């Protein structure tokens, strides 16, 4: 009985957590694992993209990118602002590419 309760709890809570590999294709975002000690984010979309990256707001203009040092971090929380999506957990030593087809849902 205890095992059933734990499994039920996991089934209820699991949708609240989305790992990057499971959700990014729907958001026109690609994530590649790297061996570099940095997280790089490239915005190829025609508009500025604003992210919440583990509590820090990062704005990336169109056709540009940022590189962040991963000192002390293994994973970072990532959420696109103005998007209705769950929190994503991204490996810090990754390369994130926001594709040309990405559109921000602001308004």
Residue from 60, 55, 71 nearest 96 by CA = 60
- 41 domain-assigned: yes
Backbone phi and psi for residue 56, each to the nearest 5 degrees, phi listed first = -105, 130
- 48 domain-assigned: yes
Lowest mean pLDDT among 28-37, 72-81, 97-106: 97-106
Please list the residues that pair with 56 across neighbouring strands: 53
Residue 103's CB is within 10 A of a number of other CB atoms, namely 12
- 86 domain-assigned: yes
CATH number of domain containing 67: 2.60.40
pLDDT in the model for residue 23? 43
pLDDT in the model for residue 105? 67
Q: Which domain holds residue 54?
A: 18-98
8 DSSP 8-state letter: H
- 103 domain-assigned: no
Domain tally, the chain: 1
For 74, half-sphere exposure in the C-beta direction (CA atoms, 13 angstrom radius) is 0
Q: At residue 87, does pLDDT exceed 90?
A: no
**Higher model confidence: residue 36 or residue 2?**
36
pLDDT digits (tens, 9 = 90+) for 36-70: 999 999 999 999 999 998 888 999 999 999 999 98
- 107 domain-assigned: no
């Amino acid at each position: 009985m205890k095992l059933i309760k734990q499994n039920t709890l996991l089934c209820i809570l699991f949708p609240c957590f989305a790992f990057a590999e499971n959700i990014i294709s729907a958001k026109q975002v690609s994530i590649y694992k790297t061996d570099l000690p940095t997280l790089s984010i490239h915005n190829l979309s025609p508009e500025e993209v604003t992210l919440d990256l583990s509590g820090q707001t990062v704005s990336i203009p169109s056709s540009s990118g940022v590189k962040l040092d991963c000192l002390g971090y293994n994973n970072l929380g990532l959420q696109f602002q103005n998007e209705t999506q769950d929190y994503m957990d991204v490996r810090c030593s990754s390369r994130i590419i926001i594709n040309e087809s990405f559109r921000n849902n602001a308004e």
